[in-house]
Chain A
Amino acid sequence: MHWFDHPHATDREFELHSPLKYALHKFFVAIVLLVFSVIAFGLFMNAYAGESIRLDEAQSLWQVSHSVNGMLGIISEDVHMPLYHLVLHTWVTFFGNSVMAARMLSFVFLIATFPFAYLLARTVMGRKWALATVGLLAISPFLSWYASETRMYTMLVFFSVANQYFFTRILKHQHHGWFGYAITTILGAFTHYFFFFNLATQVVFFLLNRDKFKKASFIKFVGVAVITAISLAPWVALFIHNGAAGNMRPGLSKPSPVDFFNAYSNFLFGYQSDILNTVILAAWPLVIAGAFLALRRRLKINSVVMYLLFAAFVPVILVFVLSYVITPFFLSRYLIASLIPLYILIVWLVSHQPKKTAYGALAAGVLLSSMFLYRQAVMTNNPAREDYKNVAIDIAKDASPRDVIVMTSPFTVFPFEYYYNGTTKIVTLPLWDRGNHGAIPAFSATELPKQVDQIKKDHDNIYLVMSYDQGYEDAIRQYFLTHYEQIQKRQYSPKLQMIEYKVNYDNPVSFTK
């Protein structure tokens, strides 16, 4: 084995030793990354092309349908940063606002992530294993799910990984990477609030490892922080002025250890059925076997590996603790920036095993990932699935203009309407006049009978579409169950069901329309 074929030879050593071979090598890496991109595209087209639009996606599309100023106003009332929507706004101008076209933007960010993921992996392992990491990322169930969702998560991954890469460059070379670091810090901060946990992790790492950085680094980091703060100031002012998303925070409960480990289960295995997920989580002791196998001579945790450990775990721990202590905001998709460091760490551990074991583990990883990806794509009880498409198609087929469709979470009206082309009136519970600006009215149990009476007036049947429980779904369900005759009930996805009630007896009940 020539020395520069050694798995730990650096690119610089390689470049200096044989420029031609280095150029060929870069070309080879580019080709392999391209192949992985094609694989990811194939998965994107095959697995998720027919997937129904989800609530958040409908919201994104609705938000970008406004003018830039109008859109920024709406987003500043929401819990998200504006960069993704600005990019999406431009994107749909060129490519149209179909679900597929909008989702393609997320996919583009996934592909753009691959080179940075490779470079980040390359800081701790050889070329072969860094490429293997990207290969695994290309078939990662969780990444592929969000690469096909019209939301900012792959954009968050892109800026986070790029930012992590530049941070490791600073860590390794001290003078390199500052410009890239500053740019990705600012853009990442404008992508998602949870990008700040990535930065917080770097602060913690820096404070605990001051000796690994040059003294001037501190001033430079402060400089980047100041520039980022100045850039963000106008947005923060607007955000605070518009109520700091007081009414828009997702209604979440305090996270439990199950949620904590579920985040990592999602990162590695994607969204699986509750039963399978329970089994995966219960098998956590196997992690100990992995840790034991990782006890190998000379397998040292250098500063970059240590940083990757921080990047993979500290944000999740921080969010978990803050969600527990302050206010719940623990969602695995918000923490997606920890996914790539986690993959790199796993492949790094595998790459240090004996050759046969390492290849066997890699093959097992590919097999498992493919299997879970397939399950996630095809199973109807995928907990992240929201099948508004089929509920809209069914109601359009069944309901008449004498009926009424009631959405129990007012904002779910957007994804439903995306597919619904029937003539039946659509209302929400609690009643919400979308023509009027302002927040969605809060649910009131005392108002419920009055509002239902108002809705059922002049209608035969109510198609109650229940999803996204905001804490009052059960009250509505109980009210209808005790007051009206249930005609049919269908479950479309784990959290989306449609129940038809007969509410007016002026016309006989008909089961076939």
Chain B
Amino acid sequence: MNRHELRERFAFNKGVAPRWMLALNIVMAFVYFIIIAFLFTPGNPVLFGLLIAGEVFHLWQSVGYAYTVWNMNHQRRFDPAFAQGVDVYITVCGEPVEIIEETARAALAMDYPAQNFSVYILNDGFVANKDNWQEVEDMAKRLGIGCITRRTPGGAKAGNINNAMRQTNNPFVVVFDADHVPKPVFLRKVMGYFTDPLMGFVQTPQFYNNQHESTVAQTAWDQQALFFGPIMRGKNRLDAAFMCGTNMAIRRAAIDQAGGMCETSIAEDFLTSLFIHEKGWKSHYVHEVLAEGLAPEDFLSYYKQQFRWTRGSLEVVLRHNPLFMKGMKFGQKMQYLLSSGYYLTGLVVLIDALLPIIFFFTGLTAIKTSTMWLAIVFLPYIALTLAMLQRSSNFTYTFHALSFSISSFYLQVHAFISALLGKKVSFAVTSKTAIQGNFLKFAIPHLAYIALAIGGMVFAYLREGFSAALAANASWAIVNIVTFLPFIAAAAPTNVMNSIRKKFHVKSHEQRECEEYMPASAMQNEGAN
């Protein structure tokens, strides 16, 4: 891998948004909201109320983002000679043995003073009825590492870690998912932060090295890049960086004080972080890729992973609201609320997307104003917001990532209702290999939207002819449709998409990204080599 490729690969954690841009964005967010809420004439009161509710949410998220990324270079005390004992856990639940072995070998190869660490495979294959649980034990024996195979199920991944913690005793634990291969310097770069006696845990990015394997994997990373780039770097200064399930080091005392890894939530890492922070522990985020893992390569795995994260985060809002937690600072409370509340975006997207459809069929609008007045306040605001997003993420955020985020509205609404009703959801391990199939059922709401929008446009045209209001609403519907398209394409059967690409000689998203990845000069060098 050449230097340019390396730079591009890890560009996500080098973004900086100028303070003037952030401040201006906050001002514009308020100006936009005030104009929409107080200066424009309301239309239908229900639609206006829904619109304003959505705008309040946007305002909160927008200002919250600017507040988060205001300072992304928080420095902490670090002792390179730190050498206290570490238990390294590799959590396993039926993943292919070769993937686990690669991770285990990399873990063994980590560099640490006096090699004062032990590696354990936390094998949940038996309790999860996976066929390869014994192969995993054999592999561990072959490598000379510990293998803790649970015989009593419960608590999913959190239960697996808690079980291992009862059987090991080093003062620190490091957790890797089965597919997250640590670099030799992992412990050297992470453990030194525990020199601060209040440091509860240290998290590193969850980097996907298979991002070029499929559109879904690429997009999953593009979304992660925003989170592990500016957002986590920003949370750092507020002691609000939270655990993400893998590539993390935790002080045993902190986790013990929090009551162990939380086994009652499918977002165990997030909730446990909350409890650790509540007890007054600090956290740190090292924005350097120190382990590389696998992204979900297929739509089903992606969808399940997103649903799990959404459901778990929304549970935090509904059942463990950070605002009412004692022991946390205001900044921490806001950060937890921002992160978990983000998943309410789906409700707002749904409302915004339905407004043009409602207009098509009823003629009702949320506001009665010249569409150009709306344009003059909205366009500079959205332009600045996108510029801020790109500057803070070092231009790594993509249309596909945006598309998947917005198109996840149905998933998020579904998860919200499920969390509200307290429906039980089981923990599902993200598949490490691509699952082929037709996942269009997940895009039915989007396809229905397209059908409704087209039908609605015709209906509205027949009702009132070609008016400015129709043009404006049709344009909004088209914006939504354009945004949904990559999501629908990803859900479509792989063979259908391949035949479409073949027919029209279109390269897939990941092929293009791969080609654009290297400059011509690099390609030439590659060829020469």
Contacts and interface: CB of A to CB of B under 8 A. Distances in A.
Nearest to B406: A292
B521 interface: yes
Interface string B69-99: 0000000000000000000000000000000
B376 A257 contact: yes
B399 A279 contact: no
Contacts of B383: 291
Nearest to A5: B520
Interface in B231-279: none
A227 B372 CA distance: 42
B372 A284 contact: yes
A295 B401 CA distance: 9
Given A256-B372, A292-B482, A356-B505, A282 B475 contact: yes
A356 B512 CA distance: 11
A260 B376 contact: yes
B372 A1 contact: no
B482 A298 contact: no
Interface in A354-382: 354-356
Contact of A285 (B376, B476, B520): B476
Nearest to A300: B395
A260 B386 CA distance: 22
B372 A258 contact: yes
Q: Of residues A257, A260, A261, A294, which shows the largest number of chain B Cβ atoms within 10 Å of its Cβ?
A: A257
Contacts, number: 111
Interface string B386-402: 11011000011111011
Interface stretch (B133-141, B429-437, B466-474): B466-474
Query: Would you call the interface of chain B mostly helix, strand, loop, or mixed?
Result: helix
B375 A299 contact: no
A283 B483 CA distance: 16
Given A5-B520, A257-B373, A282 B469 contact: yes
A356 B379 contact: no
A308 to B, nearest CB: 14
A289 B478 CA distance: 8
Interface string A278-314: 1101111111110111111111110000000000000
Contacts of A299: 395
A46 B112 CA distance: 80
Contacts of B222: 297
A3 interface: yes
A69 B399 CA distance: 60
A355 B468 CA distance: 33
B8 interface: yes
Given A292-B402, A297-B396, A297-B513, A284 B524 contact: no
A313 to B, nearest CB: 9
Interface residues of A, number: 36
Contact of A1 (B375, B398, B523): B523
B370 interface: yes
B507 A288 contact: no
A299 B506 CA distance: 21
A260 B380 CA distance: 13
B512 to A, nearest CB: 5
Interface string A189-229: 00000000000000000000000000000000000000000
A356 B503 CA distance: 13
B520 A297 contact: no
A9 B513 CA distance: 20
Nearest to A357: B506
A2 interface: yes
A276 to B, nearest CB: 10
A6 interface: yes
Given A3-B521, A295-B398, A282 B483 contact: no
A354 B507 contact: yes
Contacts of B376: 257, 260-261
9 contacts: A6-B519, A257-B373, A257-B375, A260-B372, A284-B472, A284-B475, A292-B399, A292-B483, A355-B507
Interface of B: 8, 11, 222, 370-373, 375-376, 379, 382-383, 386-387, 389-390, 395-399, 401-403, 466, 468-469, 471-472, 474-476, 478-479, 482-483, 504-507, 512-513, 516, 519-521, 523-524
Interface of A: 1-3, 5-6, 9, 256-258, 260-261, 278-279, 281-289, 291-301, 354-356
- Top 5 A-B residue pairs of the complex, sorted by shortest distance between their CB atoms: A6-B520, A282-B471, A285-B475, A282-B468, A257-B372
Given A287-B379, A292-B399, A296-B399, 10 more contacts: A3-B524, A257-B376, A286-B475, A286-B478, A288-B379, A292-B402, A292-B403, A292-B483, A297-B222, A301-B390
